[in-house]
Structure 1
Amino acid sequence: MLLVPLYEHPADRPADWAALVRSAGRLYGVVLNPANGPGDAPDPQFAEVSAELRDAGVAVLGYADTDYGRRPHQEVVRDLLRHRDWYGADGTFLDQVAAEEELLPHYRRLEVAARAAGADTVVLNHGTHPHPGFAGLGDLLVTFEGPWDAYQEAEVPDWTAAHPAERFCHLVYAVPEGADTAALARRRRAAVHCAVPGTGSHPWRSLPHALEAAG
């Protein structure tokens, strides 16, 4: 399954957003990120694509930056509520999630708040393997985010074997054409992934290779 963070405006990349709707059956969810979060006011075009995705049966995950536990709880919750009210998001994607055990209570509170805001799906993006205690939080943990070169050398801690592969996701960018990221993710006990060709400071501007190939 694919978790797709497409951080591009629908007006700039309408064909890519349409491709996501067409590919609904292959998607775990799509991360909605109008402005490093929901923005300061509703964006009608993001609301439209969100409705199309939900009508197609895709989970829409509202993006909220947690700044590794430094961002105040109330600010993150405000973003969750705006995603729900403005875009109809039925899930949340918490980004820059801390990996340390001492921050587990902070993220437990955020998960409770997300559920209370109506999130059916809660994804925590650590970008690395966190303390094993985080395995009890959310529905999906992103335990790798980085370039293809680093992914080939990445190691998976033993504690992940005690949990279903469906609990883990790997997000990989700068992936060359033809690289079988899905197979490598499965070997590393991650049933959800995304592999895009994008590079640089904004790699999530492109569709996954798998969807590009589908047309």
Structure 2
Amino acid sequence: MKRLKTTLAALALAAASPFAAAIEIIVPAYFYPSWMPSQNEWKDMTAVAGQGVQITAIMNPGNGPGTASNSDYVSAVNAFRAAGGKVLGYVYTCYGVSHCTPEVPPTRSTADVLADAQRYAAWYGVDGVFLDEMASQAGTLPFYKTVSDGLRAAHPGWQIVGNPGVTPAAGYAAVTSRLMSFEGSFSDFVNGPFLGQLTDAATTGAIVHGVAGVAQMQQVMSLARQAGLGAIYITDGTLASGNPYLHLPSYWQAEVLAAAVPEPAQAVLLAAGLALLAGAAARRRARG
């Protein structure tokens, strides 16, 4: 009887999950696709791509597409996309003005951004772009509208993901497919104002670093689900390390499972199984 109750509880939990919104995982995959399988985290993403959750990887060969096509990235991207994943090309935008970091040129034009996007298209056949260092003020919106118009004209089916890291001014949602309106720590995600300020959660995403362990990851995922967020990335990488996105989180498999939602057909089977088990339990009680 105890075993039956355990099975019933598991089925009830699984059957309920289709009613929660599916969450896309958008991975800042800033790690090299090594030819050594043990050091190739692109293979780890490929292994779970398309299995109950949409996984999108942001490729970044050299703070952008680099100066030439890279065969290791070509192989990794092709395998990942064939498995069901999507790939975005990383393009920095200097906040629409001249606020670039010291390691890159001090200014960034719309033509520069569009040229990098075209390199990704030609060399890797990506599914869209990830516009990093995105501004959030109304005054820089024309920069991003020009970029968006150019991208949509050249690549109508592309996904345009912007990363302001904060909630931007009105108008930014119209020039992107999705806005990553939070990039910050576990504490700021859980205790800060972001979740309470959401106006279009389904097209909004969050990148949360410094999430220590599975329990904290599950807490973040639960809050993201409750808020109806469309996309999430959770990692135990920290800013103190210099770059929190150099590796997948240690709980990668658990994160994928936490984000996955069964297909409708699976939900029907689970519900049917739940009904059968409930009937069996009732008959056993009747027999005393």
TM-score by length of 2: 0.69
Paired residues of 2:32 and 2:40 also in contact (CA < 8 A) = no
Identical residues among aligned pairs (%) = 31
Amino acid at match of 2:222: A
Map Cα deviations across residues 47-67 of structure 1 (whole Å, 9 max, x no partner): 111111221222210000001
**SS of match in other structure, 2:129:** strand
Give, in angstroms, the shift of residue 79 of structure 1: 0.6
Instruction: Tell me the equivalent position of 1:51.
Output: 78
- Once the two structures are superposed, the pairs formed by residues 1-215 of structure 1 within 5 Å of their partners are 1-11=24-34, 14-25=39-50, 26-70=53-97, 71-118=108-155, 120-156=158-194, 160-161=198-199, 163=200, 165-177=201-213, 178-179=215-216, 180=218, 181-200=220-239, 201-208=242-249, 211-213=252-254
Amino acid at match of 1:174: G
Q: Which of structures 1 and 2 has the larger relative contact order (alpha carbons within 8 angstroms, sep 6+)?
A: 2
Q: 1:136 to 1:210 in 2, by over 3 A?
A: farther
Give, in angstroms, the shift of residue 154 of structure 1: 2.1
* Structure ranking higher in strand proportion: 1
Higher deviation after alignment, 120-129 or 201-210: 201-210
Amino acid at match of 2:142: P
Give, in angstroms, the shift of residue 189 of structure 1: 4.1
**SS of match in other structure, 2:42:** helix
Distance in structure 2 (CA, Å) of the matches to 1:23 and 1:85: 26
**How many pairs were matched up?**
213
Map Cα deviations across residues 152-192 of structure 1 (whole Å, 9 max, x no partner): 2221377633x2x2200000111111212211223344221
Map Cα deviations across residues 37-78 of structure 1 (whole Å, 9 max, x no partner): 001111111111111122122221000000100221111111
TM-score by length of 1: 0.90
Which blocks of at least 5 consecutive residues in structure 1 are unaligned? none
Give, in angstroms, the shift of residue 2 of structure 1: 0.5
Query: Which one has the largest radius of gyration?
Result: 2
Q: 1:36 to 1:93 in 2, by over 3 A?
A: same
